[in-house]
Amino acid sequence: MSQVMEPKRSNELMELEGQYGAHNYHPLPVVLSRGEGVYVYDVEGKKYFDFLSAYSAVNQGHCHPKIIGALIDQAKTLTLTSRAFYNDSLGPYEKYMSQYFGFDKILPMNTGAEAVETALKITRKWGYEKKGIEENRGVIVVCSGNFHGRTTTIISFSDDSDAKKNFGPFTPGFVTVPYNDMDALKEALDLPNVVGFLVEPIQGEAGVYTPAVDYIANVKKACNERNILFIADEVQTGIARTGSLLAVCGNCSCQDKCERQETYNRPDVLILGKALSGGVYPVSAVLCDDEIMNVIKPGQHGSTFGGNPLAAKVAMAALEVVNDEHLIQNARKLGDLFRNEMNKIIAKTDLITLVRGKGLLNAIIINDSPDSSTAWDICVALKNNGLLAKPTHGNIIRFAPPLVMTENELMQCVSIIEKTILEFKKSNN
Ligand SMILES: *Cc1c(COP(=O)(O)O)cnc(C)c1O
């Protein structure tokens, strides 16, 4: 006999988190209990379009049957061996990843921050052992406004005071340059002992800052000329989000999968996370060629869960879905449509000043001070109208729906956004 449970009310659940959980987030007041494709449902049963996709981890849509199927099958078979032993999923996964992304080798980890840490360690070690930099002197250049995760080393080169204040002392060996500024970058790359340049091809957390179209190509060239590793953090931008397999692919015109024609700015070190798992389970990875990866020897780096059979099967299924459902092409097509529609709304209101982005990673800029609550209030109004998005950095709202969205669904979302923005303006005049 099935027991009918009275659903716990949203308020009770929010109070529980408030009382028993650390206050390290400030969530929108909505309590979700179910997800399917582009939709999520709250505990009262109200349906929403998910326009955040867990910061682009759920590119393949919520609870994708193929990915969940892979998870369940493997969960019944073998979940964790540690890397003390071989397992029969890891090798096939590593081969699949190597061929899918075109690098000799992969180092499997779990979270995005761990993969960034891994890339930094590989880069430093390469600098000492292959480039001949004196040990402990290696410098890695990073960008202002960066977001690469939350570990102590990573926040050491953040310029977000919330991320950094009172968490020191910090890890040395990083130099910051303004994003999208080639002159400043070249100057920094010419400093002594530089081993790598770590960059997001589009700065997601900072507010979806898209650099000049030739920035990444120039970055690659400047790094190559100086024998400095070009490290692309594609944790948020990768896996079809921006309308190509990777944001560094540029504007290729492939049909099935990103062909990476002349526009492909292949990094020396590629960092992936988030959508590598389809939002199902933490999976991240660092990819590079043998001459770089082979600086890591047994015992020098690792993770108990990294490369476990569950992660391997989930990630392969997640990447197959990207191909099966042509998510690259869909993100590109719907992204163009979305920005076009946002520009029509911008023409009707002075509440939004700009839409920017690539593929389905976009943001609108709200015409108010970054310290005002306007962007937050708009997100609450969007929620009430059935669409979930979150402000990033004050007056910016990021819009990043799952890539399995249809054109019809996207147009419904555009209507919700238009209605909300136009009504919002009225109620505040
Ligand atoms: C989210 C993100 C990370 C960190 O990933 P976690 O899984 O949260 O540790 C790193 N880099 C970029 C660009 C990200 O967007």
DSSP state letter for 262: T
Per the structure block, which two tokens stand in for 61? 């849509």
Model pLDDT for residues 66-100, shown as the tens digit of each residue: 999 999 999 999 999 999 999 999 999 999 999 99
pLDDT at 137: 98
**Catalytic: 233?**
yes
H or E element, residue 362: strand 361-366
Fold of 65-324: Aspartate Aminotransferase; domain 2 (3.40.640)
H or E element, residue 140: strand 139-143
Per the structure block, which two tokens stand in for 81? 């061996």
> How many angstroms separate the CA atoms of 181 and 135, rounded?
29
Nearest-CA residue for ligand 1 atom 5 is 112
Grade residue 4 by pLDDT with cuts at 50, 70 and 90: very low
Is the confidence at residue 6, as pLDDT, over 60?
no
Distance 427 CA to ligand 1 centre (A): 37
3 state SS of 409:
helix
Phi (first) and psi of residue 47, to 5 degrees: -100, 140
Q: Which mutation among 147, 210, 237, 393 tests ligand 1's pocket best, with the greatest number of atoms within 8 A of CB?
A: 147
User: Architecture of domain 10-60+327-427 in CATH?
Assistant: Alpha-Beta Complex (3.90)
Model pLDDT for residues 209-251, shown as the tens digit of each residue: 999 989 999 999 999 999 999 999 999 999 999 999 999 986 5
Model pLDDT for residues 297-327, shown as the tens digit of each residue: 999 999 999 999 999 999 999 999 999 999 9
Q: Among 233, 268, 390, 424, which one carries the catalytic annotation?
A: 233
3 state SS of 247:
helix
- Domain ranges (residues) in the chain: 10-60+327-427, 65-324
Nearest-CA residue for ligand 1 atom 10 is 148
> Is the Cβ atom of 346 under 6 angstroms away from ligand 1?
no
> Is the Cβ atom of 235 under 6 angstroms away from ligand 1?
yes
Distance 118 CA to ligand 1 centre (A): 13
Grade residue 1 by pLDDT with cuts at 50, 70 and 90: very low
pLDDT at 306: 98
pLDDT at 257: 47
Is the confidence at residue 399, as pLDDT, over 80?
yes
Neighbouring CB atoms inside 10 A of 253's CB total 10
Model pLDDT for residues 159-213, shown as the tens digit of each residue: 999 999 999 999 999 999 999 999 999 999 999 999 999 999 999 999 999 999 8
pTM over 0.85: yes
